[in-house]
Amino acid sequence: MDIVRADELSIEYLAGLMDGEGCFRIASQNRSHGPLFYCSVTIRMRDDKTYLLRTIGKKFDGSLFSENRSKSGSINRNPNFAVEWRGPDAERICRQLLPYLIIKRDEAQVLIQFEELRITSHEHKVNRNKGGGRGGRRLPDSYFEAAQNLYLQCRELKVYRGKK
């Protein structure tokens, strides 16, 4: 097994890997005060590729984690490891990858748009004393509509096992 050194990895190599194995997504969770949206960029592989994922995480500032259980809850024979970037880190890695992506270029562009929307909405357009939460802060409905549209746009771009 060849060990990959961090100085040998390039952004072009990572882009090729992300085009084949990566996941660009906007997730939505329902909350009592409205949906919570966030974006993430993940690359997941079997445990025998841990050395590669550790190197990617170290060089490109991603978080490494493992999944030892299958979706059904039983112990997985082949645990998976993943490197993930969320929020502003996801936008940063998307911007770095964008010039080199081919297959997942559109998904990366949607994530960049989403993160720009999220940052501007959270910093400048918070209505005080207009809704739930401890601070009485409520994002405007226009944010939720735009976030939902980008979420749906990202879902439409997904290709699962060669099928849209």
**Pairwise CA distance, residues 81 & 63, whole Å:** 10
Q: What is the dihedral of CA 110, 115, 116, 119, to 10 degrees?
A: 160
- 131 DSSP 8-state letter: S
Least confident of 31-35, 61-65, 144-148: 31-35
Parse the chain into domains and list their residue ranges: 6-157
Based on its alpha-carbon atoms, the radius of gyration of the chain, rounded to whole angstroms, reads 18
Give pLDDT tens digits for 75-134: 656 668 899 999 999 999 999 999 999 999 999 999 999 999 988 887 654 444 454 445
- 164 DSSP 8-state letter: -
CATH superfamily of 6-157: Homing endonucleases (3.10.28.10)
**Pairwise CA distance, residues 105 & 50, whole Å:** 26
Among the listed residues 87, 38, 37, 80, the one whose alpha carbon sits nearest the alpha carbon of residue 62: 87
**% of the chain with per-residue pLDDT over 70:** 74
32 CB burial (10 A radius; 0-12, 13-18, 19+)? exposed
